[in-house]
Chains A and B, each alone.
Chain A
Amino acid sequence: MAANFYNVKGFCKITNNAVFVNGRIQHEVPQIPFAQFAEETYKHFKISYPKFYKMDNLSKLGFLTTELLFENLQLKANHKPDRIGIIVSNKSSSLDTDIKYYNMVKKGVASPAVFVYTLPNILIGEICIRHNIKGENTFFVSEEYDIPSNVNYVNGLFESGMMDACICGWIELMNEEYESFLYLVEKEKVKNLLEHSASNIEKIYNQKPSVYAGVNARSEKTDC
């Protein structure tokens, strides 16, 4: 039987009000609060998905990171929905929204729309609904982004034949401190430049982004 290779096809990072796709900066709006930055980014990339406005900050962050990850990638065409997985982790779970919700309850108002987001895996749900993903999905909570553990786990899922593609990464947000990093891995017959290994993921996660002059350049088709 032919060997399978697990290749990283693209990655997206959003932090400090800047969006990086495959290591190149695509958009930046420094010094405004995250909520504003999120809406600005949504409009800038001409995304049309009204439900975006109902999401909490953590879900908005995850949603945007995925949208921009897929700007150049053809996910849906290649795989059946139940063969696409999504494995994400963070440090603060949904604490940012939990606290906001709790403050509302103290004032006597329990908002169902806010309560819905007091679980970190709702962000996974939103991404699955948007991109029609129905496969394996889990949300881990850990002190730091544990790349070796996560890569190992996802490769194990691939090896057991559970899926053909997977969105993986770290989506953390607490007040105005946030960082998201998502990448797409696909099972293929041919090895490409960026195999799914802990060292490769550490490399792209820690990579110093290259900054183009003309910060608002739209992304071009790139390989990794």
Chain B
Amino acid sequence: MDPVMPEPSAELGVSAPLIEPGHSYASVTDKISAIVLTRRTPRWWMLGFAAAFCLMMLLFFAVAYLFAVGVGIWGINIPVGWGFAIVNFVWWIGIGHAGTLISAILLLLRQQWRTSINRFAEAMTLFAVSCAGLFPVLHMGRPWLAYWLFPYPNTMGMWPQFRSPLVWDVFAVSTYATVSLLFWFVGLIPDLATLRDRSRNRVGKIMYGILAMGWRGSAVHWSRYETASLLLAGLATPLVVSVHTVVSFDFAVAIIPGWHTTIFPPYFVAGAIYSGFAMVMTLAIPIRAIYKLEDFITLRHLDNMAKIILATGLIVGYGYMMETFGAFYSADQYEKFMILNRMTGPYAPFYWALIACNIVMPQLLWFPAVRRSVVGLFVISLVVNVGMWLERFVIVVTSLHRDFLPSSWGMYYPTRWDWATYVGSIGLFLTLLLLFLRYLPMISIFEMRQLVSQTSGKTESRVSGNLDDV
């Protein structure tokens, strides 16, 4: 079998290899570190970075104008006081969840298939959380006072009001960002040492050397590493559940029809994992094709992720059904109106589009042939990303635009500044991602080496390297 191009018809499931046969410790290290250590920056990377950087500049421009003129440049109004900013916040936070789930929960569950996708999924988490963290600050009337949400001794008499779900959000998101960053960095240390040792230029040696924090790979180092990584996994695991639960409280704790729903916490968590895995898939498919990483990110990985997308998608579908059922079962006239308005009101096309994207389309993943089709998976993952953004739009906007009094009804139309900020945040995300791909190992080298033994007996090593090489 050609290790570079796996057979599309290769058997999926637990018996399928997590790393294509024919790799040795050295070949794994060579292949992953070469992506970072190569002197020539690929042309596609330069073009992609230029495009992403331009979009990021668009974000900065939009934010500068926002700070100068205020949130009136957005389409928000009364009654729709929260618009794209909060939609984007929830969407980005949700995307981040897959990284933590893959790196923490799958680590604790000893799921080896996480190995080749955990590193860039964690990076995706960090970048998504960075984008998410921007929006609550941007949507404030006085964003320069955002630090007042942190409890610190001061002479102004300021102290957060802990009954507010917005304060819970601050703690949930900042804890999540901190633990994710620590987890990601600790996981990188052995690989940074590899890059330090392999780097041929002085700057690289110094930079990777500093970041590797004196890693020598001794037994003591590995023992401490394993302990730290397990502890951080244990810390991160409840965060997978808590962060989006708390984000859902922003809505569920309010008494607004369409928001005041007990199913929100589990439904938001499932939705977050759903959208997160869709984003991992959206990124993994082109990355594995461009960097020829089909050996490491195999069809089994894509198949497993597709199954998780299908399962969490079904939970999200159940959430939609229970939301509708609850509205009628509650016999609350406002709840009933709200759900009917979602289905038939001015934003109905968005509601039905999200049903099509999030419930109908992913059902194709029941078919093994679809789960084996890389193009099919890519399209479905894109559709789910769009669907989950629409879900947040529908939750935020349709619940607000109809008030209890018809005289207070309104509509929300995003302005060009809303779009510029949203598209710009995608630019920020892609800029950070491309920098990560270029300067850090996107796949965990040392963890992939552990998988070599799984397939080493099956075929001969295809490179001359042996254990002594590493």
A pairs with B: no
Binding site for B on A (CB under 8 A): none
Binding site for A on B (CB under 8 A): none
